[in-house]
Chains A and B, each alone.
Chain A
Amino acid sequence: MGGSAFKDKRPVYLNLFKIRLPVAAVVSLAHRLSGILMFLAMPFIVYLLDLSVQSSAGFEQAMTLLQHPLLLAVQILLVWALAHHLFSGIRFLLIDADLGVDRQAANYSAWLVIALSVLTTVIVSLGLLL
């Protein structure tokens, strides 16, 4: 962190409409966002796990809780988070292994990650809602 040693006098240009993130950056950012979302959900998921194994009544209570409209919305969000985190994680591991590093392949796989995670979310959501 620069602090007072750097008195930066350069003009700051921050027009958000002029900044276009490449799709790989969007995937990377969404990887972080989805990770944070799942971290925030963790205590509640452990609570549901506890409830579901305590007793037959607790299991039913957990199942009823999951039917609540608000929690259905949260589940759909978390399904997206898990799917995106998983698919983009696999993409990062492949890039670590030197697979698909060139720009064209990286762009293609980034779009593939977005498509697969949205598709998974839609399929699982239909299963949850129907």
Chain B
Amino acid sequence: MSLYILEGLKPWVIQRVSAVYIALFLFYSLYCGMNVEIVSYTHWRGWLFHPFNSIAFGIFVVAVLFHAWIGMRDVILDYVHDIMLRLFFLALVMGVLVGSGLWVIRILLFSMVE
């Protein structure tokens, strides 16, 4: 017996689409970072809370959460065969991802106003 989570959502496609977006966002951030001499608090906030960057970053976080879930799920399904241990690790991963995601939403919503 095994657990097929996200089976209907074509995880293979999600993994690759999210990978491309993550890579593009990383190259964009790297490009932005290379044009700055010294990163200051004001610069950093100004960059992150710029409307375009906030939205791009928000999508990046969603992409990373999906990407990490599918990746960790695959690793767990490959190496953990005991059904209870499998459930335990899947729940643990889901907990970490949902927790991190909610935390980022909180940062983006409530830290925007100083």
Listed in ascending order, the chain A residues whose CB lies under 8 Å from chain B are 1, 32, 35-36, 38-39, 42-43, 46, 49-50, 52-56, 59-60, 82, 86, 89-90, 93, 96
Residues of B72-114 whose CB lies within 8 A of A: 72, 75, 81, 93, 96-97, 99-100, 103-104, 107, 111, 114
Chain B's nearest CB lies how many Å from the CB of A94?
A: 12
Q: Please give the distance in Å from B103's CB to the nearest CB on chain A.
A: 5
| Nearest B residue to A49, CB-CB | B107
Interface SS majority for chain A: helix
Q: Quote the shortest CB–CB distance from B107 to chain A (angstroms).
A: 5
Q: B72 near A35 (CB under 8 angstroms)?
A: yes
User: Given the interface contacts A49-B107, A50-B107, A54-B111, does A32 sit within 8 Å of B23 by beta carbon?
Assistant: no
The 4 closest A-B pairs by CB, nearest first: A59-B41, A53-B111, A56-B41, A35-B71
Q: Does B50 contact A (CB under 8 A)?
A: no
- B23, B44, B100: the one within 8 Å of A89 (CB): B23
Closest A residue to B71 by beta carbon equals A35
**Given A43-B99, A43-B100, A96-B16, A53 and B45 contact (CB-CB distance below 8 Å):** yes
Asked whether any CB of chain A lies closer than 8 Å to the CB of B19, the reply is yes
Residue pair B68, A46 in contact (C-beta under 8 Å): no
Residues of A within 8 A of B68 (CB): 35, 38-39, 42
Task: Give the distance to chain A from B76, nearest Cβ to Cβ, in Å.
Answer: 10
